[in-house]
Amino acid sequence: MSLFSSLGSLLTTMADGLDPLFGASAAAAAIVLFTLCVRAALHPLARAAVRGEKARAALAPKITELGRKHRDDPERMRRAMAELRTQEGASPLAGCLPTLVQLPVFFVMYHVFSTGSGAGDLLDHTLAGAPLGAHWGGVFSGGPGLVYLGLFALIAAVATWTYLRTRKVTVPGVPGVPGVPGVARALPLLSFGTLFTAAVVPLAAALYLATSTTWTAVERALLHR
């Protein structure tokens, strides 16, 4: 059995179990529940990512000092920064791990609902009249349009909250490293990329994105208390 068929079978089984509660929207509810299970399984990585962020923030003064000390020798500065991160256990990739691990799951779901491979009768399911395998048609009228309007509003609200929060906690750029300050300022804008992605992928994949980004916002708010 292929990976696509396995995911399709799992979602079908979950939808069948949720049918008494959600009726025609059981498959959509199954996608939300599946996403929550994936994110719950990745929670230890999220905790590690937050610890890494805090460690990098604590290192910011030392990194700034290294930037001043080796301003005229970028190569030596990069080596010194790498040694400092190794000594303190502050990996620059730690914060990306939950997102990187999720990418295969998202692409498998995108393939299942965009091609029908392994989806069985899942493509026949809807959410308030909007087919799970359909794309946004560019309008917000009628039942399907209102579904997308609500979905985009949720994603935009989460992206805005993430943007405002990230601007406050972004570690300052390092003196002497060209482009770092500009990249640091641009990173918070990436949170709005989810909104554009949701507009072009099938509704099922957009549901996964909306649920996952909302989980991320709540999770990070709790971990940073």
The ranges assigned to domains in the chain are 3-223
- The answer to which of 66-75, 181-190, 206-215 has the lowest mean pLDDT is 181-190
Question: Residue range 25-41: average pLDDT?
Answer: 91
Question: Residue range 126-138: average pLDDT?
Answer: 87
Residues 6+ apart with CB under 8 A from 21: 29
> Which amino acid belongs to residue 17?
G
CA dist 132 and 160 (Å) reads: 26
Tokens 């935009």, located at residue: 156
Question: Residue range 16-20: average pLDDT?
Answer: 91
H or E segment and range at residue 130: strand 130-131
Average pLDDT over the chain reads 78
Alpha-helical regions (H) of 92-141? 97-115
Whether the Cβ atoms of residue 26 and residue 13 lie closer than 8 Å to each other? no
Alpha-helical regions (H) of the chain? 3-22, 26-41, 43-69, 74-88, 97-115, 142-169, 180-186, 193-200, 203-223
Reading the block at residue 71, the tokens are 């301003």
CA 28 to chain centre: 19
Q: What share of the chain is helix, strand, coil (3-state, %, to 5)?
A: 80, 0, 20
pLDDT digits (tens, 9 = 90+) for 41-79: 888 888 877 777 777 667 667 777 766 776 666 777 777
pTM to 2 decimals? 0.77
Burial string for 59-77 (b: 16+ CB within 10 Å, else e) reads: beeebeebbeebeeeeeeb
Q: Which residue has the higher pLDDT, 185 or 107?
A: 107
CA angle 123, 16, 37 (to 5 degrees): 85
Give Cα separations from 76 to 79, 83, 182 (angstroms): 5, 11, 22
